Structure 1
Amino acid sequence: AKAIEYFVVEDLSNWYIRRSRRRFWKSGWDEEKKSAYETLYQVLVELSKLCAPFIPFVSEILYGVLVKPLATGKESVHLEDYPLSNESQIDETLLRSMELARKLATLGRAVRNKVNIKLRQPLRKAILVVPREEERRFILPLADLIQEELNVKELEWVTHLPESVDIELKPRFAILGPRYGKKVQEIARFLTGCDRVRSRNFLEEGHLAFSLDGEEVILKKDEVEIVLKSREGFAIESDEGYAVILDTKLDAELKEEGIIRDFIHTVQTTRKENGFDVEDRIELYLLAGTDPAFANILKKYTHLVQDEILAEAILFQETGVGTEEVREYQLDGKRILFALRRRS
């Protein structure tokens, strides 16, 4: 049951559905949109069977909503055979590459949280540390996906941490003390003077061996705190030898696009509040009283905004909508007045 819960929340909802949103709401009915819906349908049907022993009533409702209108299933989900995996359909290389892509995306989000930069704010560059050549080779086909998840303009792939990143090793005295007693101070001195190559190997391999008074000491990651320090304007997070370094400097162009991404998020929220369906096409009105600087930025990014919010048109005008439809929003110190209408 825990494994199913993790799959639904992390794999299905937070990853597949979120990553496929544009495929679901795009115009027309091409093969890409068709395959997205068919995949989600198949997953939900099998999920209703998997959940049946744990949440029998909810599973029955889900199964009925999905299967009965098409008359493709049995009278009840509880009459179905319990699903079994088909190992011939498992692509191990794809699974490994997607798992690594998600790890790098998670590290990227951790970097942004550390420096308090929202994911909607584009950044110039990400340096990705992937130690093994084989992994870099099979993850490169997912480079566009990773770049989109990190929301950066450029990716740089490297094998080791750049020289601009300092590695500092600090002993965890609470763990090392009971194990090594009086020798813990000597271990601390060794870690303080540890050269970059050994520190980097420890970061990537997870253990550090050295001799102390003729006795071999092998330290593991849980015994040592690893502190990574990047130069000003960059921030880093790492895990198990992998790392993501983000260029956190914001120029005028990046700031403008960040403002537009925030505005898109606001419009999407307003769509939901107005009860619009996910595929509804709309018209966006930018009204008098809006900060002129924002209006100029919006004009530069008109096509991007239209694609993201499914707007058939963006109209810059003073009047033409009822006051009850107008939304006021403050963004980066700029006042914005706008309204949405469903396109008939």
Structure 2
Amino acid sequence: MVLVRRLVELGRATRAESGVKTRQPLRRALIAAGGFGTLDPALHAQITEELNVESLASLSEVGGSLVDTTAKANFRALGKRFGKRVQDVAKAVANADAAALSLALREGTASVEVDGETVTLAPDEVIITETPREGWSVASDAGATVALDLEITEELRRAGLARDAIRLIQEARKNSGLDVADRIALRWTSTDPATVAALAEHAGLIAEEVLATDFAQGAADDTYGTPFADEGLSLTFRLRKA
């Protein structure tokens, strides 16, 4: 669970940095962290849900090509151990394959050659910087990395619009004074083709989430309550207790 929390925190941080809202589903997240491959499938599912992605995979499956990696010595940490030799160790770190060094440190320790001697390095002794390539948002900390695929297909966009609609309807339920368990009937209209397509495609999911036993596009009669509207979705809807 400690690892799960770290990965979720990293994923949320990089999503926030990218500017992609939490309710917008993304296609996949790629993970690099010691112990990730042995996590229980239920924990994988939890990470998938928390990050709102369709799938998880190991970063190694794409060859680590999503980031440009650099490595440099952490002089404060290395100085305690190597004293006057710290510059030699730093040079060896700078000359090493940064991507390979990063991968080794995720698994525990890495090593470099210093004047013919193999020197073992701990994760806190090397500063790894990973710059995401176009189309990805990446966050790394203490040997763990989460990369989010930021490509939003039309299918994913419709799924995001559906989640926006769910949030609006849930707020309308609350503002209408309905009990949490009350079933509702709902009628909706929209002038935005994307919203129309999203609500039609995800009608079953939306109805389930908002407890609607009757969810349909079209005008509402006088038995329905006050209209609710959202300019962003060009959506207007009315609901009543079923």
Residue in structure 1 matched with residue 221 of structure 2 by the alignment: 320
Question: Shift in Å at residue 249 of structure 1?
Answer: 0.6
Q: Specify the alignment match of 1:291 in structure 2.
A: 191
Q: Which residue of 1 aligns with 2:202?
A: 301
Larger Rg: 1
- Pairing 1:146–2:47 present: yes
Alignment correspondent of 1:282: 184
When the two structures are superposed, what TM-score results if normalisation uses the length of structure 2?
0.79
Gapped regions of structure 1 (runs ≥ 5): 1-97
**Corresponding letter in the other structure for 1:291:** T
Structure number with the higher helix fraction is: 1
1:124 to 27, 32, 54: 27
Q: CA deviation at 1:316?
A: 2.3
Shift of 1:150: 2.3
1:233-244 alignment, distance < 5 Å: 233-244=135-146
Structure 2 counterpart of 1:225, one-letter code: I
TM-score, reference length from structure 1:
0.58
2:187 and 2:219 in contact (8 A); partners too: no
Q: Find out whether 1:115 has 2:18 as its counterpart.
A: yes
Per-residue deviation, 1:120: 1.2
* RMSD over equivalenced CA pairs, Å: 3.3
Measured against aligned partners, the alpha-carbon deviations of 1:227-272 in whole angstroms (never above 9, x if no partner) come to 1133321222234433322211111111111111111112112222
For these two proteins, the number of residue pairs brought into alignment is 238
Q: Pick from 82, 91, 102: which aligns with 1:199?
A: 102
The reply to whether residue 103 of structure 1 matches residue 6 of structure 2 is yes
Aligned partner of 1:25 in structure 2 is: none
Letter in 2 for 1:285: R
Change (3 A) 1:223 1:138: closer
Contact 2:137 2:148 in 1 (8 A): yes
Q: Any runs of at least 4 consecutive aligned residues in structure 1 with deviations exceeding 6 A, and if so which?
A: 180-184, 214-218
Paired residue type of 1:116: G
**Higher RCO structure, 1 or 2 (CA under 8 Å, sep 6+):** 2
Distance 1:257 1:158, change over 3 A: same
Mapped partners of 2:105, 2:43: distance in 1 = 28
With 240-249 and 260-269 compared, the bigger mean Cα shift is at 240-249
- Equivalent positions of 1:156-171 (< 5 A) are 156-157=57-58, 162-164=63-65, 165-171=67-73
Where structure 2 has 5 or more consecutive residues not aligned to the other structure, the ranges are: none
Percent of aligned pairs with the same residue?
A: 33
- Find 2:234's aligned residue among 335, 338, 341: 335
For 2:167 and 2:237, the matched residues in 1 are separated by: 14
